[in-house]
Chain A
Amino acid sequence: MANVSEPLKSLHTNPARWLVVAVPYLWLLLFFAAPFLIIFKISLSDTAIAMPPYTPLFQGFGALGDFVSNLDFENYLFLTDDPLYINAYLSSLRIAVISTFLLLLIGYPMALAMARAPTSLRPTLVMLVILPFWTSFLIRVYAWIGILKPDGLLTLFLQTIGIMGPDDQVQIFRTDYAVFIGIVYSYLPFMVLPLYSALEKMDNTLLEAASDLGCPPWKAFWKITFPLSLPGVIAGSMICFIPITGEFVIPDLLGGADTLMIGKTLWTEFFGNRDWPLASAVAVILLLALVIPIVIFQNQQKKVA
């Protein structure tokens, strides 16, 4: 019996099994891990040599010595000198924190309501949450432009029901408010689903036990339901917080000129100013800022798996 299952567990008995691991492993090393080393290197190089048209970076290992002697922290110094970048970082973090909080505030009641719905209804509800995610992100953000524009549908709606005078307009488009709306809208499924799966797994008899022991429902929520859903809260928050911090499309399409987000800055440096090293330095620092949340996220995922 043990001999039968053994070959499946061990890599050593059959070298062909190495391929199963090796192919995806090497692919990710080459196309996911290696680029980070390169981005790190470029962030330390001069604008002149790294700008296109541009000499390939790999000139054999002999070039390694040159590389070390040419280390140049100019880009990083520039980042710290110019308040624009610092402000963009802080603003990104602020927007990400606030949005994540808003997402929790809206997503938690939704997830809870889904988890408490009749069992027969739940798959449909999950489907309804997932479905918008299958339609393009860009399209969904774009849809909000038509709604939030000063002469858009929200203004029309508010004018029609009489909350607004015929000459007033909603001044949300191209402000941070529009960015919050766009982010909450786009990321809501990512927040609801981990929360739902944590809440749905919860044993209802625990709440009955709490009630039986004299705990009224609202108190039972804070003593039992919420603490037990914490893994879902953390997973959902990280899944939202990390990409929001580097978000580009939403602040670009819905935000105003004064909406500072680091993803937008990076994009501008790269596509607008063609300053690749500076863009790389921005990316490296963004990455460093996200290391801790990413590690938290990974630990959470490992526990689930």
Chain B
Amino acid sequence: MAKSLGPVKRKFSPWTDPSAVPFIRFENITKRFGTFTAVDNLTLDIYEREFFSLLGPSGCGKTTLMRMLAGFEEPTEGRILLQGKDISGVPPYRRPTNMMFQSYALFPHMTVEKNIAFGLEQDNLPKGEIAARVEEMLKLVKLEPFAKRRPNQLSGGQRQRVALARSLAKRPKVLLLDEPLGALDKKLREETQFELMDLQTKLGLTFLIVTHDQEEAMTVSDRIAVMDKGLIMQVATPAEIYEAPNSRYVADFIGDINILEGTVAATESALGAPGTVRIDCEGMAVAVEQECQAVAGDKVAFAIRPEKVRISPDQPADPSANAVYGEVWDIGYLGDFSVFLVRMADGRIVRAAQANVSRLVDRPITFGDMVWLTWPLDAGLVLTR
């Protein structure tokens, strides 16, 4: 499996290089449909060869943003630059981008071969070259035996690959993928995610993917933009998005997390420098080691991922560690993990996840047990937004 993944990407981070020139630039883009603002004064840079995800719930403007890049919608305000050139007003059929549609949009009256050749024929390439390119594409997506079939004679996964081949055939500068795996079942989806990454590295193209599936975005992307209501909430690598979300929205949208509202009690460092922040979460004292812009008295939230919370029947020996005491209220057995819902004296619930490292079915902790939840100072986060 690992071999088929192709060259491993190392140290690919042009966004950290201040001299790098963005490949695509959305500049103060606003898009309104009537009174509804789909995209609100948004600025975003995407770099060459990047695998970039737009992630958000439906209606957050991610698809509109992509359709503006493809040319199906024109921005109400702002401009889009592709390799430094403003592409406003260029119709979709003259843009060097290609799109893989959510519905695949395969032409039902053409064979697989004809579908893949369609874009090449529009460029009036010589027949022989078209045939060669189609063959190459069929090979790339492993569909050679199906060249003469019509789309309705293919399975969902095969159709998805035809759509991919068709959009790649013209060697676009940017490939746009609109929920490309949405119609596939879970297993096939996971496989295809790796194939996509493999293809992207091999072909050296820039991929822009729209998805509402956070796992998909985490798996395939170099960077993710989390969107909500036409705004970008955070742009970062998958690990940063997960481990250092910048807001309650992003923290809550990606993965599972405990969020407890509270007030900053004290900061033991100068403003903006790393140090310990003490938060009073409605009677529960929590200490976090973090660089923080908040000062005493600020309303903030304390957030911690369940897998970073340790659960134990015994009181922790180290008195400086964060610890809360509660009753096991419910247990969710997920196979690889068990999630414990622990109810504190005031009724608030904190979730702790524990990897099931042994095959033992009888767990040492069960419903109704009184337990201690502990976590180190650097496990949680202070969210100011």
Contacts and interface: CB of A to CB of B under 8 A. Distances in A.
Per the CB under 8 Å rule, do A and B touch in the complex?
A: yes
Interface of A: 203, 205-206, 208-217, 219, 223-224, 227-228
B333 interface: no
Nearest to B70: A212
A224 to B, nearest CB: 6
B63 to A, nearest CB: 12
29 contacts: A203-B105, A205-B105, A206-B105, A206-B107, A208-B70, A208-B72, A208-B92, A208-B99, A208-B101, A208-B105, A209-B166, A211-B71, A211-B93, A212-B71, A212-B99, A212-B167, A213-B93, A213-B118, A213-B122, A213-B166, A213-B167, A213-B170, A214-B94, A214-B123, A215-B93, A215-B119, A216-B91, A224-B107, A228-B109
B105 A214 contact: no
Given A203-B103, A205-B103, A212 B98 contact: yes
Most chain B CB neighbours (cut-off 10 Å) among A211, A213, A214, A224 = A213
A212 B92 CA distance: 5
A205 B101 contact: yes
B368 interface: no
Contacts of A219: 122
A212 to B, nearest CB: 5
A227 B150 CA distance: 15
Contacts of B170: 213-214
B46 to A, nearest CB: 18
Interface of B: 70-72, 91-95, 97-99, 101, 103, 105-109, 118-119, 122-123, 166-167, 170
Contacts of B72: 208, 211-212
Nearest to A215: B122
Contacts of B93: 210-217
Nearest to B97: A212
Contacts, number: 64
Contacts of B70: 208, 212
Nearest to B108: A228
Contacts of A203: 103, 105
A206 to B, nearest CB: 5
B64 to A, nearest CB: 14
Contacts of A206: 105, 107
Contacts of A205: 101, 103, 105
B179 to A, nearest CB: 12
Contact of A214 (B103, B109, B122): B122
A208 to B, nearest CB: 6
A154 B106 CA distance: 50
Given A205-B105, A212-B98, 5 more contacts: A208-B101, A212-B72, A213-B93, A213-B119, A214-B122
A204 to B, nearest CB: 9
Given A224-B107, A228-B108, A228-B109, A211 B91 contact: yes
A51 B250 CA distance: 91
Contacts of A227: 109
Contacts of A228: 108-109
Contacts of B167: 212-213
Nearest to A204: B105
A219 B91 CA distance: 14
Contacts of B103: 203, 205
A195 B98 CA distance: 31
Contacts of A211: 71-72, 91-93
B101 A210 contact: no
B119 to A, nearest CB: 3
Contacts of B98: 212-213
B56 to A, nearest CB: 21
Contacts of A217: 93
Contacts of A224: 107
Nearest to A228: B109
Given A214-B94, A224-B107, A228-B109, A209 B101 contact: yes
A216 B105 CA distance: 17
B99 A209 contact: yes
A211 B71 CA distance: 9
Nearest to B118: A213
A212 B106 CA distance: 12
Contacts of A210: 93, 107, 118
A211 to B, nearest CB: 4
A111 to B, nearest CB: 18
A48 B105 CA distance: 67
A210 to B, nearest CB: 7
A216 B92 CA distance: 9
Contacts of A216: 91, 93
Nearest to A211: B92
A203 to B, nearest CB: 7
A229 to B, nearest CB: 10
A69 B146 CA distance: 62
A209 B61 CA distance: 20
Contacts of B122: 213-215, 219
A261 to B, nearest CB: 37
Nearest to B117: A213
A142 to B, nearest CB: 43
B341 to A, nearest CB: 38
Most chain B CB neighbours (cut-off 10 Å) among A208, A209, A216 = A209
B139 to A, nearest CB: 20
The 9 closest A-B pairs by CB, nearest first: A213-B119, A214-B122, A209-B105, A205-B105, A211-B92, A211-B93, A212-B99, A214-B93, A215-B122
